[in-house]
Amino acid sequence: MTDFDSVIPPGGQGQIVAGIKTKGIQGRRSKNIAVQTNDPEQPNIRLRVSFEVVPPVIVGPQNVVTLTAIQGAPAQATLWLRRSDGTPLEVLSAQADREGVEVTFEKVSADDQDAGKDARSARAGDWRIEVALSDTTAARNDAGKVTIETNHPDRKLIRVPLRIRVRPLLQATPSRVSMRYAIGGEPAQSSFVLRHGKGRKFIVQDIEIAELAGGGTVAGKTSSPVTGSPGLPGLEVHGGGDQPAVSHRLEVSFRGTEIQEGVHRAKIVVKTNLKKAPRIEIPLILRIDGRAD
């Protein structure tokens, strides 16, 4: 929102008043203001405005909670709160709106070893908010908020955005396999890599191909190619081997004639020796075109 003097006499001065909505932000910010004039030598002027928003209650070190971990590892984050005017603040309650997220809070004492350690750390008299995931056994992407109740007359409730990401212990790159095949043409080929999120070695024990739209499932050892389900004859997956490694490349190929044109969907199920990630499913999309010329 801006207000300005639309007519400025030669040699005179004009004034531009800019209003900025600061709800939900804090800290140093900057904005650009584009000014258009009838001056033939400088018709367009860009002004940059820098400002700092100091809320009644400051949330640090960032005004967002990010919980990130690899499957099975702990995920936690720490916030601190203080009044910007320096007067005492009381935290009455704190909770998250997502399942499995635990929130605790305590006042920082002068004996705390981390108190005042740097500009981004809590000081004596601040409130420390600990946020943690109680269970990271399953991969997860989620978002919500942490609500903190205080005794501040203007900020009784402080809502901090919450982001949760638990990465799978075993990851496939790419996360799905897409293939295209013309009946009677060259085989369609693709591949994907399985990688341990913590850099540990593992073994690929078995591979299965399961057609999603019905049909059977076929399983086999990785020492020989695994052939497709009855609904997808000609689909093969091979690779892995019996030797432990941090990553394994699996090759996927398809060549068949007795199959209908269109889109076929399946999933490749890879079984491993990992107790916390015994299997992983990779979606497969197979597009069948008419006969090759």
Domain of 146, CATH number, reads 2.60.40.10
pLDDT of residue 114: 66
Sign of CA dihedral 206, 212, 217, 218: negative
- For residue 30, give its domain range: 2-6+14-53
Q: What confidence tier does 72 reach under pLDDT thresholds 50, 70, 90?
A: confident
Same domain assignment for residues 159 and 174:
no
Same domain assignment for residues 92 and 109:
yes
Same domain assignment for residues 104 and 151:
yes
* CB neighbour burial string for 157-194, b if at least 16 within 10 angstroms, e if fewer: ebebebebebbbbbbbeeeebebebebeeeebebebeb
Mean pLDDT score of the chain: 85
Mean predicted confidence (pLDDT) in 173-186: 91
Per-residue pLDDT tens digits for 197-239? 889 999 999 898 886 644 333 334 333 444 444 457 788 898 8
Tokens of 236: 């093969």
Same domain assignment for residues 72 and 29:
no
Peptide bond preceding 61 in cis form (omega within 30 of 0): yes
Same domain assignment for residues 283 and 174:
yes
Same domain assignment for residues 109 and 163:
yes
Per-residue pLDDT at 22 exceeds 60: yes
Same domain assignment for residues 151 and 72:
yes
Nearest to 70 by CA among 119, 133, 11: 133
Same domain assignment for residues 213 and 247:
yes
Boundary of a domain, candidates 167, 195, 211: 167
Prediction pTM value: 0.64
Per-residue pLDDT at 67 exceeds 60: yes
Boundary of a domain, candidates 116, 139, 167: 167
Same domain assignment for residues 182 and 259:
yes
Boundary of a domain, candidates 167, 185, 212: 167
For residue 23, give every residue at least 6 positions away whose Cβ sits within 8 Å of its Cβ, in sequence order, or none.
none
pLDDT of residue 222: 39
Report the alpha-carbon distance of residue 266 to residue 215 in Å, rounded. 10
3-state secondary structure at position 115: coil
Is residue 127 a contact partner of residue 107, using CB atoms and an 8 Å limit?
A: yes
Report the alpha-carbon distance of residue 27 to residue 265 in Å, rounded. 50
Same domain assignment for residues 208 and 158:
no
Per-residue pLDDT tens digits for 249-277? 999 999 877 778 888 888 999 999 998 88
Same domain assignment for residues 217 and 267:
yes
Per-residue pLDDT tens digits for 91-119? 999 999 999 999 999 999 888 756 656 66
Same domain assignment for residues 174 and 278:
yes
Number of domains within the chain:
3
Mean predicted confidence (pLDDT) in 18-41: 80
Per-residue pLDDT tens digits for 130-159? 999 998 988 899 999 999 999 999 899 999
Per-residue pLDDT at 240 exceeds 70: yes
Per-residue pLDDT at 12 exceeds 90: no
Percent of the chain with pLDDT over 90: 45
pLDDT of residue 28: 80
